[in-house]
Structure 1
Amino acid sequence: MSGDMTHDEGHGSVAVEQEHGHGVVAENPFADPGLPEHQPRLTDIDEKVARKSERIVAGLFILSALATIAFMVCYTEVPNNTATIVDFFPIGAISASNFALGLTLGVALFSMGAGAIYWARTLMTDVELPQERHLLESTPEDKAVAAAEFQQGLEDSAWKQRPLIRRTLIGAMAVLPLPALWILRDLGPLPGTTQRQTAWTAGELIINDNSISLDGTQGSGIKPEDLQVGTLVSASPAAVLTAGDNAVNMMTMSAILLVRMNPADIKSQQEIDWGYEGIVAFSKICTHVGCPVQLYEQQTHHMLCPCHQSTFDLSDNGRVVFGPAARSLPQLPITVNADGYLVAKAGFDQPVGPSFWERG
């Protein structure tokens, strides 16, 4: 057997053995170049520059706190309605409230992140420390070393030596969660008021949702002859046409579904009394979590909620036949007025929407 052996000290140990025309390369053919020589930053050697960086970081943290407070002020004071929609170039038409909230929250989060990054890049230690990856649990000695390195890192970060950064960071982080508490005000008022009271009153005209104009000021009523057996129509009270900025909330709470069935298919006497010639009206809000129901199966008279598949039998008082909903859809008693249009006899006999603790 014949072969050659070469050794290159400049590029590490490389052994090549020629045997039958094939080469065999030894393990680790390239030497570890190691880390480059550490170059100190200006903040490492000039305390005046370091203090300037400290003030910049503190300023960013203070800006974050102020922007967070501004977010809460804008949330409360800037109205969110059609009168405050402004054309912001190049974004386009947007609510002034949404723009103010997005701007202030964005500044708060950006300033917090930018301050932390600038702090790490200019004042925390930047000495490169290679560390081998271990596949198994570290030994107690390694854990002790890690704890010591953590303590060393705390000292290198100048956390104790830079009280201005420490205090402003703590202050900004203390203020940052406040918007989460601030926006809880939208959960009020208590459901005992909003869910028991809708826009439906005796004689309230029922209008077809599809007939409401874009500006929400015009809509047409519904006559019994407009509905054939099997027809499903989304409807609202005529009061939404004059509700202004409150129209959306009113439609949400008072939305109903009109369905015309063969009177012989209706199982409940109450449903016959509360309907008109086979036309019945039910709340459109699922009693599980408030999703809109509008998937109607004509043959079985079942209404399906698309969110969690609660199923209601509209031929039997809106009774729940499947799914997580705990109670039937509220029914609206209806009749016709002197002009032949469908109107409400009264309001709902029970709160609409999901169940809540005050429902008796």
Structure 2
Amino acid sequence: MSHEDDPLEHERASWQPSPGLAVAVTDPVQNPELPQHRERVTDSDPAAMKRAVRTVYTLFYLSVAGSIWAIAAYMLFPIEDGQPVAIRNNNLFIGLGIALALLALGIGAIHWSKAIMSDKEYIEPRHATRGRDTTREAAVEAFALANEESGFGRRAVIRNSLIAAVVASIAPGITLFRGLAPEDTPERPNAGNPVYLLSHTMWKEGSRLAHDPSGTPIKASDVTLGSAFHVIPEDLAAISHSEGYLEQKAKAIVLLMRLPQDQLHPSPGKEDWAYDGIVAYSKVCTHVGCPVALYEQQTHHLLCPCHQSQFDITHEAAVIFGPAARPLPQLPITVDSEGYLVARSDFHEPVGPSFWERH
């Protein structure tokens, strides 16, 4: 069909607007430009600027005082006796100090940005050119201008008080970590030796294996194929929380499983560490100490949920996947005259993360 024969083209060519019909013509969107700048009180009144500066560095020094108080409260309100009142006072006064330090630091920084730093509006032109010498020089100029407008380099009192507040705010945290590294004392000669502490648990020859948390002893006949028990020493129930119940439990917790005997592959010297296919392994992962609590009955694998380390129970809990560096320590077990499962001895190696053994 030719162009002349197309009725649509003919209709378009012949169309004319009606005399009374208004045709709107859309103009391009106009740039509204920046609104008129409104000066703050501190911009026009030097006395107000001085008050704002004093307020900011006072808040920063108040933050320093809060950090110092948190450190002092750590020493003034110790919790060595484990009494609820001591723990409450320790947490209360340390928390108040840290809260004051961070709150004053935050309010001071906000007030500085709102009342002292330059608040003029700027337009930054965008373009595709990057990396030229002129671009680098412009970047340096921009940083220099930002430093001048913020007053960080020019207002020494604010700068120094801010640095002091930031540095001091870290000190309470460092002080609190001090409690995680006890020192040796005559009463506890190896309190600062983690390898020694993790090499000795509550397990000893004859200690009965008991359910966690009830403390009910476990008979070998109670452990069926494919089952898994969370186990603690029976003697643990006699220890109160103030005497270190949680600390002892954290080291001695064990997983107990039963496999067909022909699927176990003990190394020389460990043939009698299991009893009738029943094996016991530390529940503390050798990566960073998370509780290994997931047992796959079909594959006989233990899984740590924190970082997915997997251990093969059929081969002495050898690491088959994940970041763990060594197998889970095995607890040698047997039965007593009444048929209860008992430990042959303590673990033969430290429990927990392997990094404790690094020199």
d(CA) in 2 for partners of 1:33 and 1:279?
Answer: 80
Task: For 1:173, give the aligned amino acid.
Answer: V
How far apart are residue 263 of structure 1 and its match? 3.5
Find the partner of 1:170 among 144, 158, 163. Answer: 163
Q: Runs of at least 4 residues of structure 1 off by over 6 A?
A: none
How far apart are residue 81 of structure 1 and its match? 9.3
Give yes or no for the alignment of 1:206 onto 2:209: yes
State the partner residue of 1:27. Answer: 28
State the partner residue of 2:294. Answer: 295
Across the aligned residues of Structure 1 and Structure 2, the Cα RMSD in angstroms comes to: 3.4
State the partner residue of 1:354. Answer: 353
Q: Is the 1:283–1:329 Cα contact (8 Å) retained in structure 2?
A: yes
Q: Is the 1:263–1:272 Cα contact (8 Å) retained in structure 2?
A: no
Find the partner of 2:229 among 228, 233, 237. Answer: 233
Change (3 A) 1:327 1:72: same
How far apart are residue 27 of structure 1 and its match? 2.4
Could you list the runs of 5+ residues in structure 2 that have no partner in the other structure?
Answer: 1-15, 182-191
d(CA) in 2 for partners of 1:306 and 1:46?
Answer: 61
State the partner residue of 2:56. Answer: 57
State the partner residue of 2:124. Answer: 131
Change (3 A) 1:225 1:75: farther
Q: Is the 1:271–1:280 Cα contact (8 Å) retained in structure 2?
A: no
d(CA) in 2 for partners of 1:27 and 1:117?
Answer: 40
Q: Is the 1:332–1:348 Cα contact (8 Å) retained in structure 2?
A: yes
d(CA) in 1 for partners of 2:35 and 2:133?
Answer: 28
Aligned residues between the structures: 326
How far apart are residue 255 of structure 1 and its match? 0.8
State the partner residue of 2:255. Answer: 257
How far apart are residue 165 of structure 1 and its match? 2.0
Q: Is the 1:240–1:247 Cα contact (8 Å) retained in structure 2?
A: yes
Change (3 A) 1:262 1:126: closer
Q: Is the 2:34–2:121 Cα contact (8 Å) retained in structure 1?
A: no
State the partner residue of 1:11. Answer: none
The alignment-based identity, stated in percent, is 37
State the SS of the aligned residue for 1:24.
coil
State the partner residue of 2:241. Answer: 244
d(CA) in 1 for partners of 2:317 and 2:138?
Answer: 68
d(CA) in 1 for partners of 2:206 and 2:66?
Answer: 50
TM-score w.r.t. length of structure 2: 0.75
State the partner residue of 1:112. Answer: 105
State the SS of the aligned residue for 2:314.
coil
Larger strand percent: 1
Could you list the runs of 5+ residues in structure 1 that have no partner in the other structure?
Answer: 1-18, 87-93, 212-218
Task: For 1:237, give the aligned amino acid.
Answer: P
State the partner residue of 2:194. Answer: 191
Change (3 A) 1:341 1:74: farther
- 141-150 or 234-243: bigger deviation: 141-150
Q: Is the 1:295–1:306 Cα contact (8 Å) retained in structure 2?
A: yes
How far apart are residue 208 of structure 1 and its match? 0.6
CA shift digits 1:78-127 (9 cap, x unpaired): 539974389xxxxxxx9665555554333322221211121222223333
Change (3 A) 1:62 1:231: same
d(CA) in 2 for partners of 1:358 and 1:116?
Answer: 44
Q: Is the 1:335–1:345 Cα contact (8 Å) retained in structure 2?
A: yes
